[in-house]
Amino acid sequence: MRRLMLVGLSVLAAALASPALAKDVVRPVKLSVDISRPGPVIDRHIFGQFAEHLGHGIYEGIWVGKDSPIPNTRGIRNDVVEALKALHVPDVRWPGGCFADEYHWRRGIGPVRQPMMNANWGGVIEPNTFGTEEYFDFLSQIGSEAYVSVNVGSGTVGEAAEWLEYMTASKSDAMGAERAKNGHEEPYKVAFVGLGNESWDCGGGMSPDYYVSQMKRYSRFVRSYHPDQSEKGEPMQRIAVGPNSGDTAYTKAVMQAYKKHSWAWSIEGLSLHSYTTGGGWPLSQKATGFGEREYALMLSETVGMDALIKKHGAIMDKYDPQKKVSLTVDEWGAWYLPEPGSNPGFLVQQNTQRDAILAALNINIFARHADRVRMANIAQIINVLQAMIVTDGDKMLLTPTYHVFKMYVPFQDATFIPLRYNAGKYTFGKYSLHRVDAIAARDKTGKLWLAVTNVDPHHAANFEIAVPGVATTKVEGETLAAPAFDSVNTFEAPNTVAPKPVSVAAVNGKLSLTLAPASVTVVALEQ
Ligand code: AHR
């Protein structure tokens, strides 16, 4: 016991030694974990990723080519694969984004690839070296499922239908035989298919009604050729284009149609895209070198995700009270001004401790809406927007956002457990949000997990944790704090923002946990 107490004290002492924690600790937050009322399962697909043919996301980020001096397996870089395996990435949305509505899959299969201009993203030549075969190889190397967005904007239903046939039919089918000739005898599994992307904008500027009429045809004919397409043995899920942030026009039109759908077509998901920009377009916020005003602005805007989900969820409830259709937030994250000196079409931005907090707040919101939000994809996986990983030649670094996704792995497919706590307020000027934010869940082994974010950049947060009915002896996990809220990892200093272990034992039956200002912590509650 004395040893455990010393461990607890030493962690607290180490934490208090950090300059940020040296400031005063405000009133303790009493947090109670209510295990008597378990909620829905937090679908692991809310931790999905997005990889578009954009900038250095695919080329350099994932694909370096078989002859590259950078260590690779069949052209896919090994360091990135190793890092992503640790995230248990549930699915990777591909090939876009706006790119998807100009993608013609036939140019990216077989021994001879046909380049195209990537008109959306910098006007560079897209070699189509990374195509269907390479995507599925990447998925199998990282252990992830497929989320393929088909071309509704400039393609045809026939083209998209044949792509699914190519991917999922057996080799006794002509398209399946072509896939086998290209090296993959067994059909691939496509767990999710996106029926277009942002059809209200880059996907073709379609009115809601026009999109609905197109979407029904795609839903009908873009079929998988095997009933079992996911790791869980489920059929392929079709995700329709849905709202642009707060605009409800697509939500209403698609859900109205869904309510009346016949045997011939259906959908299982409705996509929501919402980025945190700190004021909308044109972009105005810098990814680094910002002050507290910008810290508070970005975080208070990002928690608007909760109201957005409620707004669209209420419309969905009207047409789908049984919540059969998932609200799929398949593009979210922070979007800043591009990194000075970078190609503006490549969407390069740095990633700070603020982004780690922003990610945690959104994940917590998705988890609280686990009954409706069963999938989400942060934009984007490598080198683009709020990335997990940044590469430069043979170098690779993990961003603060990566660390949050890794710390939250125990929440994948865990059961939501309600909490009671007084969150308090963090206010800066006109911006105000909860000072602390927390979720809890029980994993499949029965272990209880707690994720807590201290938004306040000035004050540590001291939690007194109780689990009524359970004698909790200690909390153990990791905490992600940083010297400052705009701290970043660089190739020269890749571990400036990195998780550190936390272990605190109960003293006289009481568990308390002190969190650094502007930090994210995930701990298991041990019995
Ligand atoms: O993620 C970058 C772009 O943002 C996507 O291509 C598009 O769907 C969205 O507007």
Q: How confident is the model at residue 495 (pLDDT cuts 50, 70, 90)?
A: very high
Q: Say what the pLDDT of residue 234 is.
A: 85
Structure confidence by residue, pLDDT tens digits, 115-144: 999 999 999 999 999 999 999 999 999 999
Mean pLDDT to the nearest integer, 387-393: 98
Mean pLDDT to the nearest integer, 46-63: 98
Mean pLDDT to the nearest integer, 474-495: 97
Compute the distance between CA of residue 19 and CA of residue 133 in angstroms, rounded to an integer: 50
pLDDT at 10 over 60: no
Write out the two tokens for 233: 């043995």
Of the listed ranges 17-26, 175-184, 385-394, 460-469, the least confidently predicted one is 17-26
pLDDT at 310 over 70: yes
Q: How confident is the model at residue 324 (pLDDT cuts 50, 70, 90)?
A: very high
pLDDT at 14 over 70: no
Mutate to test the pocket of ligand 1, among 56, 331, 348 (most ligand atoms within 8 A of CB): 331
Counting residues of the chain whose pLDDT is more than 90, the rounded percentage is 91
Residues found in the chain: 527
Contacts of 10 (CB under 8 A, 6+ apart): none
Write out the two tokens for 77: 């870089």
Strands 474-480 and 425-428: unpaired
Instruction: Evaluate: CB of 499 within 6 angstroms of ligand 1.
Output: no
Contacts of 248 (CB under 8 A, 6+ apart): 311, 312, 315
> How many helices (H) and strands (E) in the chain?
11, 26
How far is ligand 1, taken at its centre, from the CA of residue 269, in Å?
Answer: 18
Of the listed ranges 17-31, 262-276, 458-472, the least confidently predicted one is 17-31
Q: How confident is the model at residue 163 (pLDDT cuts 50, 70, 90)?
A: very high
pLDDT at 467 over 70: yes
Q: Say what the pLDDT of residue 24 is.
A: 47
Which backbone phi and psi does 51 adopt, to 5 degrees? Answer: -130, 105
How far is ligand 1, taken at its centre, from the CA of residue 134, in Å?
Answer: 22
Write out the two tokens for 510: 């009481």
Instruction: Evaluate: CB of 271 within 6 angstroms of ligand 1.
Output: no
Mean pLDDT, all residues of the chain:
94
Q: Are 243 and 312 within 8 A, CB to CB? A: yes
Instruction: Evaluate: CB of 97 within 6 angstroms of ligand 1.
Output: yes
Of the listed ranges 285-294, 343-352, 464-473, 492-501, the least confidently predicted one is 464-473
Q: How confident is the model at residue 504 (pLDDT cuts 50, 70, 90)?
A: very high
Compute the distance between CA of residue 456 and CA of residue 517 in angstroms, rounded to an integer: 5
Q: Say what the pLDDT of residue 20 is.
A: 42
Mutate to test the pocket of ligand 1, among 49, 52, 274 (most ligand atoms within 8 A of CB): 52
Helix (H, G, I), strand (E, B) or coil at 478: strand
pLDDT at 22 over 60: no
Structure confidence by residue, pLDDT tens digits, 413-437: 999 999 999 999 999 999 999 999 9
Q: Say what the pLDDT of residue 104 is.
A: 98
Write out the two tokens for 258: 């869904």
Bond before 344 cis per omega within 30 degrees: no
**Cα distances (Å, whole numbers) of residue 288 to 55, 128, 488:** 20, 33, 8
Instruction: Evaluate: CB of 198 within 6 angstroms of ligand 1.
Output: yes
Of the listed ranges 7-21, 170-184, 496-510, the least confidently predicted one is 7-21
Beta-carbon count within 10 A of 133 CB? 17
**Amino acid, single-letter form, for residue 253:** A
Structure confidence by residue, pLDDT tens digits, 73-131: 999 999 999 999 999 999 999 999 999 999 999 999 999 999 999 999 999 999 999 99
**Amino acid, single-letter form, for residue 142:** I
Q: Say what the pLDDT of residue 25 is.
A: 54
Nearest CA to 510 out of 6, 8, 3, 7 is that of 8
Query: CA-based angle 186:75:404, to the nearest 5?
Result: 90
Q: Which residue CA neighbors atom 3 of ligand 1 most closely?
A: 97
Mean pLDDT to the nearest integer, 432-447: 97
Helix (H, G, I), strand (E, B) or coil at 432: strand
Structure confidence by residue, pLDDT tens digits, 278-295: 999 999 999 999 999 999
Contacts of 498 (CB under 8 A, 6+ apart): 398, 403, 480, 489
Mean pLDDT to the nearest integer, 143-171: 98
Compute the distance between CA of residue 246 and CA of residue 520 in angstroms, rounded to an integer: 28
Mean pLDDT to the nearest integer, 255-277: 98
Full-prediction pTM beyond 0.75? yes
Helix (H, G, I), strand (E, B) or coil at 163: helix
Q: Say what the pLDDT of residue 227 is.
A: 79
Instruction: Evaluate: CB of 145 within 6 angstroms of ligand 1.
Output: no
Tell me which residues are annotated as active site. 198, 331
**Which of ligand 1's atoms lies nearest the C-alpha of 385?**
1
